[in-house]
Structure 1
Amino acid sequence: MCPRGQGKACPAGAALHVEKEEEVRDRRSEEVGSAGSMREEREETEGGGSTTETAMEARAPTGGPPVIIDDHPDDSGEEDNVAVHPWPYLQEMFMYIGMKDSSYRMKCLLCLPKVTEILAFKNSPSNLKKHIERKHVHHLKKYEELTSTKRKRVPETPTTSIKQTTLVNTRTVSQRSIDKAIVTYVVQGLRPFHVVEEQPFQDFVKELQPNAKIMSRLTLRSMIDDASRGMKRAVTEAMRRVDHIATTTDCWSVRRRSFIGVTAHWIDPNSLKRCSAALACKQLRGSHTFDVLASALNDIHSEFEIRGKIVRTTTDNGSNFIKAFNIFGEDENNNAIGSDGDHDSASQPGEEEEDQEGDEEVECVDVSALLTEDDGLEFQLPKHQRCACHLLNLIATVDAMKATSNEGYKKVYRSTFGKCSALWNKCGKSTLAAEMVEDACSLQLLRPNSTRWNSLFLAVERLLRIIKEKGEGTIRVICTDLKLPMFNPAELAFLAEYATVMSPVAQATNILQAEANAMMGWLLPTINLLTVKLDRVKLPLKYCKPLVNALQVGIINRFGHMSGEPELIAAAILLPKFRTMWTKDEATIKTGTDYIRQHLDEPSLQIGDGSRSTSSEDDDFFSALQSSQIQDGAKQLDGYLACSSDHMDLLKSFPAVCKLSVKLNTPLPASAACERLFSIAGLVFSPRRRIVPEKSWKRL
């Protein structure tokens, strides 16, 4: 029939049909003739195990040789044109058809007109080479020439686009994260606010995040205010969860402004670790009188809602702080109240004569004078603690100078430190002298500073270190070159003895000025051990015995009243590190244990059955009858003292002892924490920020 379906014979169409049938028959005969070789190729492939070359075969119904069937007609060339050849340098030998599982389907162009499909791994064309070796040996040399240079396979187009997209869009940062990072950079980096308006900074942020928006100075200030309020809420909430808090405070002046700083410290009842926070660093206007300081402290304590929780406040030995706590302190207020009570009770008999007043004259009193009169109750301040490190510094400087009352010590002292001062001043004022010392000694000399603890000892220690490492000759050469008087052997020996005597004092200062580990219970053991060490170093001394005597007298005068304070003794006993081993004075130990036994019976320290109702007055009245259900405080103390462990976790085994220990050891023996606050404040209040308003600076 005609292909067009017109119902008439079509000679051209018939001839074409006959010609196509003959072509199919010829093709079948050629395939049958080569079936044997194809079968051998398949068997070798199965035996090798690593070759994936396959050919679609089918058995003849009569059980004859296999027949290769072309399941992929030649019209697949359209797919070849679209796909990218995995090995472009082999395009003249193999055609890429497509993918099958994780392998490439390749068609051998050398086998045409026979269609042979080969599966090749993605990472290697080794199957293609094996096919060349078996079927087209005469093309093997050409194949090796094509593969002689290491050509990287061209990745597929979709994969390339995906990887490129991943590299470009690696991370998207939100605007909120950018703002937070800028605030952190300004606050932690001590940068001025106007840095966000500088073009280099804006270019830097844009380079990192092109879509970022840079905040203005006003927005930055607003965000810092919000962060400050959030931090204040967090600190207030943390202190609300504890029962006992200690504070340190000090005053500081810089760039014609005065400030008061306050830090808070407490012990976490669960971990028994020290926690600290800066409460305020606010400006003080006017003179730093005792009433101004008392008012500022009272306001800060009230602002953070800790007035009733503060056990002690540690300050330096300034007369204004001492007077403020003498007048408004806890103990003095109680005495004032007691005296007022006595006065009231003494005047009670006179009240019986009220009916006999009659026509007595009325005395007029100025009400304003009564209202302005200071009765000591205007402010409520906690118990005061003088800074132990400041006291040790006074002992090492003021009290140590009293040793010069001994003429022998005075002579060698002035001679030695006169030469030391000349050397220190020369190196401090002349860069040439400083460079000469550094070149000869590989170290710089330290200059004493009257406001820095242990500065004189550290300067002498550095000088002795240079002498020990470089020899006495080096110092003599330096003194000669700088035209300074040289040290004689007696003066060098005096410096060595001075460093030996002052070393325990410096160690005690370093121990007590710690913040994370130091507690109030460390005070008396440290001072007691300092006295013992001074007694030990005193015996072999030749020049500095008067210095040791002066230091011991200073310790007694400045710490003597503390050594007998029951609360401080109990604080040391309730630390597992010390207990009763820090002193051999039985009276001192008895004073501390009696204080502990007395205060362990307080209801707040008893750990009883939490399910017991306490809402009724009868329950409170007869609560003592249920003491058998509660571990006796005295038994807890005896068990605690009998243990040998020195770890703080030991206290958790004795709840009442632990509570009392936390209360007594919450204060710090030194105000160094507030000094560190001022060190940070000095960096914050830099010349670049001198025009920052007080409100914003305080929040920084």
Structure 2
Amino acid sequence: MTVHWLDAITRARMHAVLTCIRLKGHHTYDILAQVMIDIHYEFHIDKKITRTTTDNGSNFVKAFVQFGSEIDILPELPSCDLESEFYPDIANLLNPNSEENDDLEFISVESILNAPDRLQCNEINEQILENFNTLPVHMRCAAHTFNLVASKDADAALQITVFKTPYRSALAKARTLWNQQSRSTVAADSIHAELGRRLVLPNTTRWNSLYDAIVVLNSILETKRPSLHRVMTQLKILTFNDQDVTVMKEYAKVMAPVANALDRIQGEAQAYLGSLLPTIAATVYKLKNIKSKGLVNCTALANAL
């Protein structure tokens, strides 16, 4: 768990690591909530925290739904006029002294909520219940959401054949090349000897690593395409044709605004809450601009994003 704050004098964004501990057993929402509460009290910051940011995991989300504070962003609304001629029925209902409510029995909601039997809940541990609502307001990580947009949401484009077929063909060849480098030292040496460098390899945990790998591959195809084809032939891999090159160039072009936005949101120095909406707005504008200029294969991808 990390903590971030603004310096009182310089207004610079400060940060520190509070703790890094192992959670034993299942990482359920009640366990996570209790650990976070304990850390807040340990560092005496339980009254100072305004927001807590986590990923979109269901266990974190449920922890804050059950034990988190509600965000207070609505302005104070003027009280309604109970005598208004437009709402006479509501006015009478809300007025306990109304003659029309003689037959109604008004019950204190507080007495119901505080009844002992209402507090019996087997799945919530008693210690968390005592600290109910002590977690701060929850914010889902915008960087994680951008990752989901670029990976899960972008998969909707694969339903469109014009994009699906050429994209999968190009990516299959690229993945075969990347796998050869990662699994064989002989292949890695051959790639380095022909290209003068190693390829950037994608990983499963960060979407933008795929984007970075394709950007490097595009650069090599633009400057050293014969050398790349030669080493792919040596490794018995199908070489890239013109359609593959076009698809990967368009993929990088469409994904660039999302990748740049993700880098900005993940930044340490300028990752302020006030920069999020402008970053999203700029990303949407750039995607629309790219699409308006015409794409051969990746229009579906731009639409999905």
TM-score (norm 2): 0.81
| TM superposition shift of 1:486 | 1.1
Specify which structure has the bigger relative contact order, considering alpha-carbon pairs within 8 angstroms and separated by 6 or more residues.
Answer: 2
Matching residue of 1:463: 217
| TM superposition shift of 1:463 | 0.7
Deviation digits for residues 443-478 of structure 1, max 9, x if unmatched? 1112211112401101101111212232x2122111
Q: Within 1, Cα distance between the matches of 2:203 and 2:288?
A: 28
> Aligned with 1:432: secondary structure?
helix
> Aligned with 2:60: secondary structure?
helix
Which runs of structure 2 are paired with 1:121-270 in the superposition (5 Å)?
262-270=1-9
Matching of residue 347 in structure 1 with residue 107 in structure 2: yes
Identify the match of residue 238 of structure 2 among 485, 490, 502: 485
Matching residue of 1:381: 135
Matching residue of 1:415: 169
Deviation digits for residues 277-324 of structure 1, max 9, x if unmatched? 111112212210000000000011111111121111000011100000
Identify the match of residue 312 of structure 1 among 38, 51, 59: 51
| TM superposition shift of 1:369 | 8.2
Structure 1 segments of 4+ aligned residues over 6 angstroms from their partners: 366-369
Q: Within 2, Cα distance between the matches of 1:367 and 1:401?
A: 50
Matching of residue 296 in structure 1 with residue 35 in structure 2: yes
Gaps in structure 1 of 5+ consecutive residues: 1-261, 333-344, 352-365, 552-700
**Equivalent position amino acid for 2:186 in 1:** L
Matching residue of 1:506: 259
Which runs of structure 2 are paired with 1:599-610 in the superposition (5 Å)?
none
Matching residue of 2:98: none
Q: Within 1, Cα distance between the matches of 2:65 and 2:258?
A: 29
- Tell me, yes or no, if the aligned pair for 1:327 and 1:376 is still in contact at 8 Å: no
**Equivalent position amino acid for 2:68 in 1:** G
**Equivalent position amino acid for 2:13 in 1:** R
In structure 2, do the counterparts of structure 1 residues 453 and 269 end up closer, same or farther at CA, with 3 Å as the change threshold? farther
| TM superposition shift of 1:428 | 1.2
| TM superposition shift of 1:518 | 1.6
Matching of residue 287 in structure 1 with residue 287 in structure 2: no
Which runs of structure 2 are paired with 1:260-659 in the superposition (5 Å)?
262-331=1-70, 346-348=106-108, 370-372=119-121, 374=124, 378-379=131-132, 380-470=134-224, 472-538=225-291, 539-551=293-305
| Percentage of matched positions with identical amino acids | 42
Deviation digits for residues 153-195 of structure 1, max 9, x if unmatched? xxxxxxxxxxxxxxxxxxxxxxxxxxxxxxxxxxxxxxxxxxx
Root-mean-square deviation (CA), in Å?
A: 2.3
Q: Within 2, Cα distance between the matches of 1:444 and 1:477?
A: 15
> Which is higher, the Rg of structure 1 or of structure 2?
1
- Tell me, yes or no, if the aligned pair for 1:312 and 1:384 is still in contact at 8 Å: yes
In structure 2, do the counterparts of structure 1 residues 348 and 500 end up closer, same or farther at CA, with 3 Å as the change threshold? closer
Q: Within 2, Cα distance between the matches of 1:408 and 1:540?
A: 14
- Tell me, yes or no, if the aligned pair for 1:328 and 1:377 is still in contact at 8 Å: no
Q: Within 2, Cα distance between the matches of 1:408 and 1:464?
A: 21
- Tell me, yes or no, if the aligned pair for 1:476 and 1:486 is still in contact at 8 Å: yes
Deviation digits for residues 255-296 of structure 1, max 9, x if unmatched? xxxxxxx11110012101011111111221221000000000
TM-score (norm 1): 0.36
Q: Within 2, Cα distance between the matches of 1:281 and 1:346?
A: 51
- Tell me, yes or no, if the aligned pair for 2:151 and 2:207 is still in contact at 8 Å: no
Deviation digits for residues 203-224 of structure 1, max 9, x if unmatched? xxxxxxxxxxxxxxxxxxxxxx
